[in-house]
Structures are given as structure tokens and as C-alpha cells.
Structure 1
Amino acid sequence: MSAHTLPRRHRIRRGALAIALATCVGATLVSCSDGAEPAAGQSAPGPAADARLARLAQKAADTGSLGVIVRVDSGDGKPVEIAEQAAWTKDDHTLAAGDQFRVGSNTKTVTATLILQQVTENRISLADTVEEWLPGLVEGGEDITVRMLLNHTSGLSDFLLTPEFLPSLTGQEKRTWTPEELLAITPEQDPPAEPGETYAYSNANYEALGLILEKATGSSLAELIRKKITGPLKMRDSYLATDADRDTGRQHVTGYEPNAGRLKKILSGTVDLPAGVGFAGPERPGDNVDTSAIDPSWSWAAGGMVSTAADWQTFLTALNSGELLAEAQLRQMRTTVDAPEEGGGYGLGLIRADTTCGTVWGHTGGLPGYSSEIYTDAT
């Protein structure tokens, strides 16, 4: 139920392996229709279109996605909310449209918003170098600016599939990583790229931005999110995960990934995983693994938030209406570099996707067992 599809090669480098796979719970918010005028009081072209969307969601669930949440709100009536799942997954959890899920790299839009708020307050400049804020932590940091971190032109690669981190990503190793440790194992891009030269998505950029935020404000990232975003917007079902604990008082969806044998086949030709590498967790039907207990806290400023489709709509609406950022900073956020693999361009923590129903703004995200694509138009 996504607004656009990313190439598999790039999706693996996104929040986690889950994005490359079809066996994850997905959640999508889009604010455009197929071009037809909605009837009064409806958020979609009509009941027939809603029914077709539900059938597509069920088909996606039955053919690999396992669980799908869809929310479509055109702002002129009751939103369309759909939750469909493969039959066997109901033994673990009955999916509802209001369930919480791990939004993965959609978190980057929140982190970028916090940075730009500090720019407004003159605590951070987009021209500041990483070395100024994090001396000695990032190789070549004297040539990398805050803007380059935000739009992924820093020249940094990603730590996700490194031999050191892969066991934690799959849950085979239980380890709590600090952002400093993740930056230390971040490899050089291959081939190398000079800072500011080309777009190349890297979670390391946002680990660095989280550290800069904490240093600039004296507050923890979780506290900043509560104080500046979720609190003022009354996003009561959204928070930054610090571990795999899901006892929050709301239903949290269960996520799944293929077992080691099936995973290796799926990723063949994209990445050559070592033999036996797979996700840790209880075995489930269809050669799947329940990945819900894998600790997502490593993703932090790059992808650690949990939310709902309705809450994230609240955030994107506030962001695009100017409630969270001054006009100058919102304009900077929407200034993009070419990123064809994103379906358009990448701004400061924000994807511009050029779709058949027009240009939309948002992000994608994934963690083991979870994948999401969340977009809105600019108005």
C-alpha cells in the first residue's frame, strides 16, 4: 500500500533489512486520491474505491506482507482506515488500524525537525561542521556540515550490514549500541565520495545528528521529542523506543521476517549473507520468524520511534502547515538533492516523491519485521 516502491538494492540500506522484504507489517498514510473528486464527507473517491483498497491490502497480506495498515485522509471527511492480515497471524495479534508500530526511518523527519528548530533559535547552523560539535568522533568531520548529514551528502557509508553490527540487526546478538560506537564502525563509502558531492543514504548521518541535538540543548533526544513534538501535538501513542518492551497500554503489532534459509534466497544477488545468518525469534508458519523482541534502540535518532498512522498524520500535517517550523526552515527542509532511488529527491530529513497523483512529502522506514511509507501533500 505504498505511494512508491524503492529499488531493492537501496532499500536494504534503509532502516533495516525489513524494507527489502515482503514479510513485514506495513503502514501507509497518503493524502492524495487517484484523481477523482471525492464525494461529500468521504476521504476517498467512494465506497467502491475503499473496497478495492481493502482487497489490495488483503492480497498484499496474503502474498507476503502478512499484515497491512492503510490510512488515507483527504481532509474533507472521515479518514479511510484499513487493517488486513494473513489468517495465521491472528493467533499472535488481531491487527487494528490504530495499532502502534515501529516507524523506522520516518523518525529522521522528526530528528530533522528538531535540528531546524534549533537553527531557528540560533543554537545550530546548517553550515556548522561535525568536528565543531563532535570532535574526533567522525572521520573527516571537519569537512562535513550539519546540512550534509541531514540530506545524506556527507560521504559517510552505513553501519547496518557490517560484520560487527549484522548480528545485532538480526537479533542473534543482544547488545546495546551507543551512537558513538555505531559511528566508530561506519565504513567509508565504496567508491569514496567527497562531502557534499553525492546523495547516499546512511543511518550514521542521523546518529551524529542525535548527538549534536543533545549537545546543543543539554536534553536527551527522547525528552526533546516529548517536549517539542509529541507533547505539543498530543501524539499520545508515539514515543522513542529505548528497548523492545511493548507494554505501553496500546496494541503493538507483531513483526515477522523470513528464516535464515528463505532470507538468503530473497537477498541473493543483492547481498551475500553468511551461511546461517537469519533473524532471531520464535518460529512461525511459512518459514517466518517473530522479530518483535529484537531491540530497536540502536536506531535511535535514525529510526527508533513507535507511532500510529493517525499520530503520524498529525505530525506531518503540523509540519507542512508551518506549526513546527518557521517558513524559512520549512523551505530549507524541502530543498532537495537528486535521489532517484527515493522516487524524486531528498531534502533535510524529508523525501519528495513524484507519484501519479502528484508530488508528496514524507519518508519511508523499516526495522526487522516492520516497513512503512508515510506521505502527505504539501498543503
Structure 2
Amino acid sequence: MTLAAGMSALLMGCSYSGSGDSGSGAAKASAGQGTAAGKKLAALAQKAADQGSLGVIVRVDTGDGKPVEIAKQAAWTKDDHRIAADDRFRVGSNTKTVTATLVLQQVAAGKIGLDDTVEKWLPGVVQGGADITVRMLLNHTSGLGDFLLTPEFLPSLTGQEKRTWTPRELLAITPEQDPPAEPGETYSYSNANYEALGLILEKATGSGLAELIEDKITGPLKMKDSFLATDADWDTGKNSGKQHVTGYEPDAARLKEILSGTVDLPDGVGFAGAERPGDNVDTSAIDPSWSWAAGGMVSTARDWQTFLTALNSGELLPEAQLKQMRTTVDAPEEGGGYGLGLMRVDTACGTVWGHTGGLPGYSSEIYTDASGTRSVAVFTSTNFGIKEKAAATANKALVDAATCTMLGKQIK
């Protein structure tokens, strides 16, 4: 496998499949921890942090008005910040669910058709656009590959090159799937699909994406800590009022070892950032704005659960469009199926709906039950770091337990 393909496969987001304390957010983060389930989750979160997740935020809302909020971290990370349960976080590809919701709102209004071709909206912008529909972009069956797999973009992904990419520039370097597939034939996850959807939204509405998100989603739902990132200019310091979580990735040597079974990573290739303990680097300064409609949002666990709850309970879309959103194609690598910007994940305790997200230094899983009554969010302040065996095992145990708790099932 190529270098870029190996890194991309691990960066897409995680599928369901001395120790520190909660720091300055301790009082707020302890909500709900007095219960047996809360104590168990707190212990699992601390273990995950110590095993390699580094910083962990867990929020479980069973719909009874008493959410469990937990923030745990590895001891050395407290020198950078004291993590709190309401810290802001780069939610990565969870953004796709917001973009899809906006598209489906326009479908309900009769302004966009799911069977409209890409060429109709973006003439000459997407190769093969005359045979690709809006629906295919939404459920990743377009036949497009991903620009993440290109040598042109990889230096920006790792932060080694500082460049501001436009959606059209990213679509211009997007290859076809490997192996090739006809539009509508095969599910293959690609950020390029959602870059195109963002452009279609802007053309259909005459409004910018950030404005649409605020007007249609974050404003009405009072998601005051959620926004579309345009750069990496935020305060991750311990003295800030509303803190943004500091993200970390393994240094070049550790990254090479993590990828050894997937790709032969050349010596010295890794993420840009200040050196930190445990052979890590601080990736907080890497600009995520390239991800835009595919993954550019910053939010909090509470805010994003508010969004997913509103979506899956029918508050944001008419019944017909929500049904379309939940019509899935097989996506076993996602733990079940992929609809229109929404994952169906079949867990040991039941089926959940939501998405995953991954950016350098940030990984997230956020789900609700089918009714949108119950929700869960698990954030970790590393992406590649939780691919190591011990870290992956501890992270999975935490996500499994948090999801079962959300569904009202006993933690095993």
C-alpha cells in the first residue's frame, strides 16, 4: 500500500469495532459519576488515557436529564492544559452529518434533487460529474477517490506544508477509486464527495457554508460552542476561558512503527509540531480548514449531542428526508451501513446512528439511539495514537461501555 493510502486509511476516523485526573474541569466533569455506571466509565476513561488516548472526554445522556460527563488525561498532558468535559474539540468527519442535513433540508424545499447530477450544479468541476448524483456523493458511492491519497496534499495533512486549499483545488487533484468503480456501484469513503456537496449547497442557496450552518443548525439549536474552522488560530492554553483541546500524534519513529503492517513509511516522515513526552508531538497548530464541509467543524460533546438528538428525533428534517438519510448501503468497515451522511453502527448492545471523526490529534465517535432520545460522545486527543494495540483495546472497551450505558444496558 502507498504511504498516503496507509495514512489515509487510519485517519478516516475510528470505526466502532502515573495517571492524571480531570484537571480544572473536575467539578463539571464529575456529573453523573456517582452512579455505578459512571464510576465504571470514569475508570475506563482514565485507563484509556493512560494507555495512549492521552486526553479523553465522555458524555452519556440517557434522556433523563442527568448526563454523565467525564474528562480524564495522562499526567504529563496537564502541563499543556487541564482537560474539561465542555472543552471545544475538532469533530472531523462528524461534520459530514451537518452537511448532509443541510443538503436534505434543501431537498425538502425543492431546491436540490437527490438525483440531480453533479455536472448540473458544478459544470466541469468534478471528473465524470455527468454520471454522479447528489445521492451518490452523500452515501460515498460516487466512484471518486480521495485527495488525501495524493502526494500533492499529504504535506498539508501532516502540517509540513502550510497551504490554504480551496474545495475546487482539492477536487482538481482527486483521483478515481482504486480499483476503479462506476458511479453508484460501490461504497468507498471519500472526503471529496463532501467538498463537492459544500459547493453545491453554496450555489443552491447563495449563502456561504459557515453562514448556512449557523442559520440552519447551530443558531436554532443554540450550539454556542460550535463553528466551522477557517484556520488553527485558537487558544489551547490552560488559562483560556473556553478551552480547545490540545491534540497529539506519535512522532515520526512511533508513526513508522504503527504503520509498519500497512505501509513502509520512510524515515523522518511525520506530523509537524512541538515535541512532547512519550514520543509525541503537539499537532494543535495544524490547519484543519481544508476539511471544510467534509470535516471542518469545532464543537463540544454537549453541543454535538444536541445536534444529533435533534436530527434523529425528527426536529431538523421532515420524515421523508430522515428516512432517506437512514437508507444505507453496506459499509462493514464502518460497523454496519452508511446512509446519507449518517452511519448505522450495529453494536453488541443495539443499533446506533451517528458518525466518527478523525483529524491529526483528534478522534471522535458520537451516536444516538434510533429515537434520538439517548446519545453518547467519546473524544480522544489523538488519532494515530489509539491505533497501537494497548491503546486500541482500552479505547474500544471505553466506547463499548459508553454506548451500552447510553442504551440502558449493563456494562460488561
Answer yes or no: same fold by TM over 0.5: yes
Contact 1:343 1:352 in 2 (8 A): yes
CA distance in 2, matches of 1:197, 1:110: 25
CA distance in 1, matches of 2:14, 2:79: 24
User: SS at the partner of 1:265?
Assistant: helix
Question: After TM superposition, where is structure 1 displaced by more than 4 Å over at least 4 residues in a row?
Answer: 9-12, 17-20
Q: Distance in 2 between matches of 1:280 and 1:326?
A: 44
Which residue of structure 2 lines up, in the alignment, with residue 170 of structure 1? 158
Distance 1:165 1:158, change over 3 A: same
| Partner Cα distance (1:18, 1:272) in 2 | 21
Is 2:310 aligned against 1:315?
no
Q: Which residue in 1 is equivalent to 2:250?
A: 258
1: CA distance between counterparts of 2:264 and 2:341? 30
The one-letter code sitting in structure 2 at the alignment partner of 1:246 is W
Equivalent position SS for 2:169:
helix
Secondary structure of the residue that 1:232 maps to in structure 2? coil
- Whether the 8 Å contact between 2:59 and 2:68 is mirrored in structure 1 is yes
Structure 2 letter corresponding to 1:13 = S
Contact 1:15 1:365 in 2 (8 A): no
User: Equivalent residue of 1:190, what SS?
Assistant: coil
* Mapping of residues 1-379 of structure 1, within 5 Å: 12-13=7-8, 16=11, 19=14, 47-247=35-235, 250-379=242-371
CA distance in 2, matches of 1:147, 1:345: 15
Q: Residue 3 of structure 1 aligns with which residue?
A: none
AA paired with 1:163? P
**TM-score scaled by structure 1?**
0.89
Does the 8 A contact of 1:15 with 1:299 survive in 2? Answer: no
Q: Deviations over 1:60-88 (max 9, x none)?
A: 10011101100011011310011000000
For residues 318 and 10 of structure 1, the distance between their equivalents in structure 2, rounded to whole angstroms, comes to: 35
CA displacement 1:101-156 (0-9 Å, x = unmatched): 00000000000000000001111000000111111111111000000000000001
- Compute the displacement of 1:162 (Å): 1.4
Counterpart-to-counterpart distance in 2, 1:68 and 1:256: 12
SS at 2:364's partner residue? strand
Mapped partners of 1:367, 1:77: distance in 2: 31
Q: Deviations over 1:193-230 (max 9, x none)?
A: 00000100000000000000011111100000000000
> Kindly tell me: are residues 129 and 18 of structure 1, through their superposed partners in 2, closer, same or farther at Cα, counting changes over 3 Å?
closer
1:67–1:299 CA distance, 2 compared to 1 (3 A): same
Confirm or deny: 8 A CA contact 2:12 2:357 kept in the other structure. no
The CA distance in 2 between the partners of 1:10 and 1:172, in whole Å, is 18
Relative to structure 1, is the Cα distance of residues 225 and 372 closer, same or farther in structure 2, using a 3 angstrom cutoff?
same
Counterpart of 1:156 in 2: which secondary structure?
Answer: coil
Which secondary structure state, in structure 2, belongs to the residue aligned with residue 77 of structure 1?
Answer: coil
Question: In structure 1, how many angstroms separate the alpha carbons of the residues matched to 2:264 and 2:167?
Answer: 26
- Assess, with a 3 A threshold, how the Cα gap between structure 1 residues 212 and 76 changes in structure 2: closer, same or farther: same
For residues 361 and 17 of structure 1, the distance between their equivalents in structure 2, rounded to whole angstroms, comes to 18
Q: Which amino acid aligns with 1:244?
A: A
Check the 8 A contact 2:92/2:295 in 1, yes or no: yes
Deviations 1:285-308 (A, max 9, x none): 011000000000000000000000
Across the aligned residues of Structure 1 and Structure 2, the Cα RMSD in angstroms comes to 1.9
Q: Normalization by structure 2: what TM-score? A: 0.82
Aligned length: 349
SS of the aligned residue for 2:148 comes to: coil
Q: In structure 2, what is the Cα distance between the partners aligned to 1:117 and 1:49?
A: 38
Q: What per-residue deviation string (whole Å, max 9, x for no partner) do you get for residues 323-356 of structure 1?
A: 1101100000000000001110000000000011
Which residue identity does 2:299 align to in structure 1? S
Residue 321 (structure 1) shift? 1.5
Q: Identity percentage over the alignment?
A: 83
| Distance apart, 1:19 and its partner CA | 4.9
| Secondary structure at the counterpart of residue 366 of structure 1 | strand
**Which amino acid letter does the alignment assign opposite residue 298 of structure 1?**
W
Larger proportion of helix: 2
Give the Cα–Cα distance (whole angstroms) in 1 for the partners of residues 52 and 291 of structure 2: 25
Q: Match of 1:328, as an amino acid?
A: A
Q: Distance in 1 between matches of 2:32 and 2:108?
A: 35
In 1, Cα distance between equivalents of 2:102 and 2:291: 17
Partners of 1:18 and 1:341 lie apart in 2 by 11
Could you tell me whether the CA contact under 8 Å between 2:247 and 2:283 is conserved in 1? Answer: yes
Q: 1:11 to 1:77 in 2, by over 3 A?
A: farther
Looking at structure 2, the residues matched to 206 and 183 of structure 1 have their Cα atoms a distance apart, in angstroms, of: 10
Q: CA deviation at 1:17?
A: 6.6
